[in-house]
Amino acid sequence: MAQSGFEGFEKRLELNFFGDDPMMNIGIGLRQLSFESVQEILDAVQCTVVSAMGNQYFDAYVLSESSLFVYPTKIIIKTCGTTQLLKSISPLLSHAHDIGLNVCGCRYTRGNFIFPKAQPFPHTSFKEEVMYLEESLPNSLCYRKASVMPSNKTTHSWHVYSASTDEYHMVHHMSNVFTMEVCMTELDRVLARKFYQHSGNGNSGDISGKEMTMATGINDIIPSALICDFSFDPCGYSMNGVNGVHYSTIHVTPEDGYSYASFELMGFTDDSDDIDRILNKVVQIFRPSTMSVSTTCASHDMSMHVKNAIEQNGLIHRSCTIDEFPAAGSIVFQTFTTRRK
For residues 335 and 341, what is the distance between their CA atoms, to the nearest angstrom?
12
Q: Shortest CA distance to 38 belongs to which of 100, 106, 88?
A: 88
Output the 3-class SS for 164-210: ECHHHHHHHCCCCEEEEEEEEECCCHHHHHHHECCCCCCCCHHHHHH
Amino acid identity of residue 321, one-letter, is: T
The CA distance from 224 to 208, in Å, is 21
186 is in an annotated binding site: no
255 is in an annotated binding site: yes
Tell me the CA distances in angstroms from 338 to 46, 107, 187, 254, 291, one per residue in order. Answer: 36, 31, 11, 19, 9
Q: Give the residue numbers marked as catalytic.
A: 66, 80, 238, 251
7 annotated as belonging to a binding site for a ligand: no
Using alpha carbons, list the distances in angstroms from residue 155 to 1, 39, 189, 291.
12, 33, 20, 11
Q: Count the Cβ atoms, other than its own, within 10 Å of residue 32.
A: 13
232 carries a ligand binding annotation:
yes
Q: Please, are residues 111 and 41 in contact by the beta-carbon 8 Å criterion?
A: no
Name the amino acid, one letter, at 276: D
Q: Residues comprising the binding site?
A: 6, 65, 232, 255
Q: Residues comprising the binding site for substrate?
A: 6, 65, 232, 255
